[in-house]
Amino acid sequence: MSRIAYVSGAYVPHRQAAVHIEDRGYQFADGVYEVIAVRGGTLLDEEPHLQRLHRSLKELRIPAPMSDTALGIVLREIVRRNNINAGIVYLQVTRGVAPRDHAFPRSATPTLVVTARASRRPDPRQWEGGIGVVTIPDIRWRRCDIKSIALVANVLGKQQAREAGVFEAWQVDGQGWITEGTSTNAWIVTNEATVVTRAADNAILNGVTRLALLDIIAREGCRLDERPFTVEEAKTAREAFLTSTTSDVLPVVRIDGAPVGDGKPGPLSRQLRAAYLAHAASPA
Ligand X SMILES: Cc1ncc(COP(=O)(O)O)c(C=O)c1O
Instruction: Identify which of residues 60 and 108 has a Cβ nearer to ligand X in the complex.
Output: 60
Q: Does 243 bind ligand X (CB under 6 A)?
A: yes
> In the set 111, 148, 245, 269, which binds ligand X (CB under 6 A)?
245
Q: Does 208 bind ligand X (CB under 6 A)?
A: yes
List Cα–Cα distances, 222 to 83, 117, 218, in angstroms. 38, 35, 6
Question: Between residue 151 and residue 170, which ones bind ligand X under the rule CB under 6 A?
Answer: 154
Q: Which of 250, 230, 273, 238 is nearest to 133 (CA)?
A: 250
Instruction: Identify which of residues 98 and 146 has a Cβ nearer to ligand X in the complex.
Output: 146
Which active-site residues does the annotation give? 147
> In the set 96, 130, 157, 207, which binds ligand X (CB under 6 A)?
207
Q: Choose the stretch contacting ligand X; rule: CB under 6 A; options: 15-23, 63-71, 206-214, 258-266.
A: 206-214
Burial 255-283 (b: 16+ CB within 10 A, else e): beeeebbeebbbebbbebbebbeebbeee
Instruction: Identify which of residues 56 and 183 has a Cβ nearer to ligand X in the complex.
Output: 183
Smallest separation (angstroms) from ligand X to the CB of 37: 8
What's the angle, vertex CA 143, arms to CA 139 and CA 147, rounded to 5?
100
Cβ neighbours for 5, distance < 8 A, ≥ 6 positions apart: 11, 12, 13, 14, 17, 78, 113, 114, 115
Residue nearest to ligand X (CB): 207
Q: Does 183 bind ligand X (CB under 6 A)?
A: yes
Residue 20 CA, distance from chain mean position? 26
What's the angle, vertex CA 274, arms to CA 250 and CA 144, rounded to 5?
40
Instruction: Identify which of residues 39 and 210 has a Cβ nearer to ligand X in the complex.
Output: 210
Q: Does 214 bind ligand X (CB under 6 A)?
A: no
Q: Does 179 bind ligand X (CB under 6 A)?
A: no
Residue numbers of the site for ligand X (CB under 6 A)? 35, 154, 180, 183-185, 205, 207-210, 243-245
